[in-house]
Amino acid sequence: MHLRRDHSIGIVVDVQEKLFPYIHDHDRFAAATSRLVRGLKILGVPVLAVQLYTKGLGETVAPLRELLRDCPLFEKISFSCCGDPSILRALKLSGRRCVIVAGVESHACVLQTTLDLLVEGFLPVVVEDCVSSQRQVDKQVAIQRMRQEGARITTSESILFELLERAGTETFRQISRLVKEAGRE
């Protein structure tokens, strides 16, 4: 199934100050997630930002917080984003069935969100280089589980080009620049 931008919405889950320093390869993860968010915005795909128990875990990390400043921000206390009625309502009201998932931790909030998205009739597309956990093994097992349950797994570069669909446009040039920057990281 080919993903389309007018059927897609992004969600960035719990990339927060208190967790971030402990996330495996956090700088590479943050760069990929920032690239994904920038690309989705260029493509006109809406993005939701989510924070788990902000009082205890802090705000979204600075580089992403700036990129997400004009996106709807939700706070939750359930691990799954779908466990919060306002987030689930926003996803349903978007009219978009493909949910592009990024965030932490892969084996907790990302996994539970993905499983619940499937139950709710969405197609979760987990962006492998834009999800992480403190321990690499937790991420690996979570990716395997999400794939087994029916989620699609992709990378930030792959999904941006899939949503782009064609070359020769200004949007193509902008996405290509993002990808070239990634190659220099």
Q: What is residue 56's predicted lDDT score, i.e. its pLDDT?
A: 96
- Active site members: 14, 76, 109
**3-state SS, residue 67:** helix
Domain boundaries along the sequence of the chain: 9-183
Q: Please give the Cα distance from 83 to 167 (Å, whole number).
A: 39
Q: Does the pLDDT of residue 181 top 90, yes or no?
A: no
Q: What is residue 128's predicted lDDT score, i.e. its pLDDT?
A: 98
Q: What is residue 1's predicted lDDT score, i.e. its pLDDT?
A: 77
pLDDT-derived band of residue 35, with 50, 70 and 90 as boundaries? very high
Q: What is residue 184's predicted lDDT score, i.e. its pLDDT?
A: 60
Tokens of 127: 């962006």
- The continuous run of DSSP H or E covering 68 comes out as none
Q: Please give the Cα distance from 143 to 146 (Å, whole number).
A: 5
pLDDT-derived band of residue 18, with 50, 70 and 90 as boundaries? very high
Mean pLDDT across 105-118: 98
Long-range contacts for 67-70 (Cβ within 8 Å, ≥24 apart)? 67/34, 67/37, 67/38, 67/41, 68/12, 68/37
Q: What is residue 3's predicted lDDT score, i.e. its pLDDT?
A: 94
Q: What is residue 83's predicted lDDT score, i.e. its pLDDT?
A: 97
CATH for 9-183, among 3.40.50.620, 3.75.10.10, 3.40.50.2300, 3.40.50.850? 3.40.50.850
The pTM assigned to this predicted structure is 0.96
Q: Please give the Cα distance from 47 to 33 (Å, whole number).
A: 12
Q: What integer best gives the mean pLDDT of the chain?
A: 96
Helix axes 26-42, 170-183, angle to 10 degrees: 170
